[in-house]
Amino acid sequence: MSDSPSILPLGLPEPVPQPDGLDAPYWEGVRRHELLVQRCNACRGWQWGPEWICHHCLSFDIGWDSVVGEARIFSWERVWHPVHPGLSGAVPYTVLLVEFPESGGIRMVGNLVGDPEQDVPIGATVLPAFEDHDGAEPPFTLVQWKLA
Amino acid sequence: MSRERSIRGKVALAGVGESAYYKRGGAPDAEFKLGLQAILAACDDAGIDPREIDGFASYSNDSNDPARFAAALGLPELRFANMVWGGGGGGGSGAIGNAAAAIAAGYADCVVVYRALAQGQNYRFGQGNFPSKVAGESAHWVPYGIMSPAQMFAMRTTRLMHEHGIDRSTLRAVSMASYHHAQNNPRAVMHGRPLDAASYDESRWIVEPFRLFDCCLENDGAAAVVLVPAERAHDLQQKPVYLLGTTQGSEYRAGAGVHNNPDYATSSFKTLAPRLYAMAGVQPSDVDVVQSYENFTGGVVMSLIEHGFCSYESANEALAFENLIAPDGGLPINTSGGNLAECYMHGLELIVEAVRQVRGSSPNPVTDAEVSLVSSGPMVSNATNLIVGAESTL
Ligand SMILES: [Zn+2]
C-alpha cells in the first residue's frame, strides 16, 4: 500500500496509461516523481493535455520535458455532494486547477493538500505532492498540490 | 457571410410538443414511447399528418434510433437522419440547424427534431459513470474526484467570478427567474415549488460555487419540434415561426484536454454570437426573449454576456431577478422554467418555449415577442444557438 495517506479514499476509478501510448511518458514520469508534459522538439512549444501533434507548428516530433517555473492556483472547486460511493465519507474535498505560467501556461488538475475547508487563494504558488498508490494494480501516482 | 448561403427565413418551426414531464424515475412509459408521444404531439400542434415526416435530427447520442421511429410510425420513406456531434445539451439548437439545412438543401421536406431522455430508466447524468480503470483524458481528472457535470464546470464558474467580479447574487437571480416562471407553467416539474432568495441561500452546496438550485434537474420525458419549408408555414394551423439564424462551434482550442482551453471562463459563445446576429440580421437589443440553457447558473451568466445582453462590468446589475422575468423585465430568460424548473429535457424544451413566445402561447408571454433567442449548452463544445422570429421579422 501507499506510504503516504491519500487525499481521497482508495476504491475510486484508477488511472491507467492510454492504450495507444499517448500519455505513457506522463504516467511513467510521475511514478519517478517527475512532472513531464509535452514539449515540441521542432518549435519548443509546450502542450497539455497530450496530443499526437504540436498545435503550435503542426510537427509530429513531440517530446517530453519537465515543467519549469512556479505552479499557481488558476481556479478551484470544493465538492460537498459525492457522486461516487467511495467518496461518501470523504467530502468536502477541494479540486484545484493549477497553471504553469513559465511552461506555456499549461494547466493540471489535482487536489489541495490539507484542510479541505481552508481558503483557496487564486494566484497563490503551490508545490506538487506526489501521491503513490503502490498497492494498486498497476501501481500509479497522483499529483496533489500544497500551498507553498 | 453570404446572404445567399444563409438559412434565414427558409424554414419554419411549424409544430412543438412534449410528453408529460416527470421527476427522474417518475415516467410510467418507456423512453421510446415518451419520444413517440412528443413527436405525435408536435405533429398535432402543427396540423401535420405524422406520415409526412421524412427526416429526423437529434443530439447528444440520443439512444432512440430514427430508423426505429420511422418504422414505428409507418413512415413511407426516411430521407434524412442526423446527429449533432458531441457537446451534450449543447447540440439542441444545432439539431434544429441541421434539420433546417436538410430542408433548405432539398434532402427532406418535414424533419422532426427530438430528444427523449428518461434518466430514471437509463444512467443518471448527475452520477459518476466511470469504470474502475480510467484511461485517456479523463484519467487526468477523474481520480481527483471530478466525475459529474457539476464538478466538470464548477471551476469555470469560480474563474468567471474571480476574473470579472460576478456576484453570487447574480447566479441566484438566474435560478430564481427559472423557478418564478415555472409557477405559471402547469407542465413544469417544479410547478407549485417556488424558490425565494432565502431558500436558495440556505440550500446545500453541491460543489462550490454551485448550490443545489444552481444545478439542472434530472428528469424523464421527451420533446419534439417539426420543421417544414417556410412557404408551407402559412397552410398550417399555427402562427408561423421562422428560423432566422443558427450557429455551431466554439473558440480557439476550446476542446484542449485537461481544462487547457485557453479562454477558460467562457460559455464558448464568443465566436458564435456575432455570427448568429449577422445571419439573423438582428442585434442583441432586438431580441425580445431569451432561453439560455442552464446546466449550471454560472454558464447562463457567461452566455448572456457573450451574447451581448450585458457586459462583464454591468452583469451584476443587468442580471437582477426583476430584470430577468416576464412580462416586465428587460431581459426575460427561461420563461417556461427551463432546465432548472420546467424539465431537464436536455434543452429542447427551451426551443419549444422560444417558439411559443413568438406565437404568444408561452405560460409567461413577453408582450409582442417577435425575436426569440436560444443558446444551447454553455461551457461545452460544440455549443450551438439559434434565433427564431415572427413573420414581421422576415
Ligand atoms: Zn511545435
The predicted-structure confidence for A126-145, as pLDDT tens digits, reads as follows: 999 999 999 999 999 999 99
Checking if the pLDDT of A3 tops 60, the result is: no
Size of interface A-B (CB pairs under 8 A): 130
B135: chain A residues, CB-CB within 8 Å: 15-19
Q: How remote is the CA of residue A140 from the centroid of ligand 1, in Å?
A: 29
Helix (H/G/I), strand (E/B), else coil: B199: helix
The residue-averaged pLDDT of B201-211 equals: 98
Known catalytic residue at B293: yes
CA dihedral sign, ordered B319, B325, B329, B333: positive
Q: Is the peptide bond before B327 cis (omega within 30 degrees of 0)?
A: yes
The H or E element spanning position B358 is helix B348-359
Nearest residue to B221 via CA among B85, B352, B55: B352
The residue-averaged pLDDT of B241-260 equals: 97
Angle at which helices B297-306 and B149-164 cross, to 10°: 50
Checking if the pLDDT of B329 tops 90, the result is: yes
Contact by Cβ (8 Å): B182, B191: yes
- For domain B3-123+215-393, give the CATH superfamily: Thiolase/Chalcone synthase (3.40.47.10)
State the pLDDT at residue B3: 55
Contact by Cβ (8 Å): B246, B279: yes
Residue B144 to residue A110, Cβ atoms within 8 A: yes
Q: Running DSSP on this structure, what letter comes out for residue B2?
A: -
Known catalytic residue at B277: no
Q: How far apart are CA B366 and CA B113, in angstroms?
A: 25
B204 and A CB contact within 8 Å: yes
A77: chain B residues, CB-CB within 8 Å: 151, 154-155, 158, 207-209
Q: What mean pLDDT, rounded, does chain A reach?
A: 96
Residue B162 to residue A107, Cβ atoms within 8 A: no
Contact by Cβ (8 Å): B292, B351: no
- For the full predicted model, state whether its pTM sits above 0.95: yes
Residue B287, C-alpha cell as written in the block: 431580441
In the stretch 98-127 of chain B, residues with CB closer than 8 A to chain A read 126-127
Facing A81 at nearest CB: one of B130, B162, B206? B206
Q: Which chain B residue lies closest to A13 (C-alpha atoms)?
A: B132
Residue B143 to residue A12, Cβ atoms within 8 A: yes
The distance of A147 to chain B (nearest Cα, Å) reads: 17
Query: Which strand ranges, in their side-by-side order, compose the sheet holding A62-66?
Result: A46-47, A36-40, A62-66
Facing A14 at nearest CB: one of B143, B205, B259? B143
Q: How remote is the CA of residue B374 from the centroid of ligand 1, in Å?
A: 39
Q: What is chain B's percent helix, strand, coil content, to nearest 5?
A: 40, 20, 45
B145: chain A residues, CB-CB within 8 Å: 8, 12, 79, 84, 87, 90, 93, 95, 111
Residue B209 to residue A77, Cβ atoms within 8 A: yes
Mutate to test the interface with A, among B140, B153, B206, B213 (most CBs of A within 10 A): B140
B164 and A CB contact within 8 Å: no
Residue B145 to residue A50, Cβ atoms within 8 A: no
**pLDDT tens sequence across B21-72:** 999 999 999 999 999 999 999 999 999 999 999 999 999 999 999 999 999 9
Q: How far apart are CA B180 and CA B183, in angstroms?
A: 6
**pLDDT tens sequence across B270-323:** 999 999 999 999 999 999 999 999 999 999 999 999 999 999 999 999 999 999
Domain ranges of chain A: 24-147
Residue B151 to residue A79, Cβ atoms within 8 A: yes
Residue with cell 439542441: B92
Q: How far apart are CA B161 and CA B304, in angstroms?
A: 15
Q: How far apart are CA B13 and CA B352, in angstroms?
A: 9
Q: How does residue B2 score in pLDDT terms, banded at 50, 70 and 90?
A: low
B264 and A CB contact within 8 Å: yes
Contact by Cβ (8 Å): B18, B222: yes
Domain ranges of chain B: 3-123+215-393
First to last CA, chain B: 18
B353 or A3: which carries more pLDDT confidence?
B353
Checking if the pLDDT of B225 tops 90, the result is: yes
Residue A18 to residue B151, Cβ atoms within 8 A: no
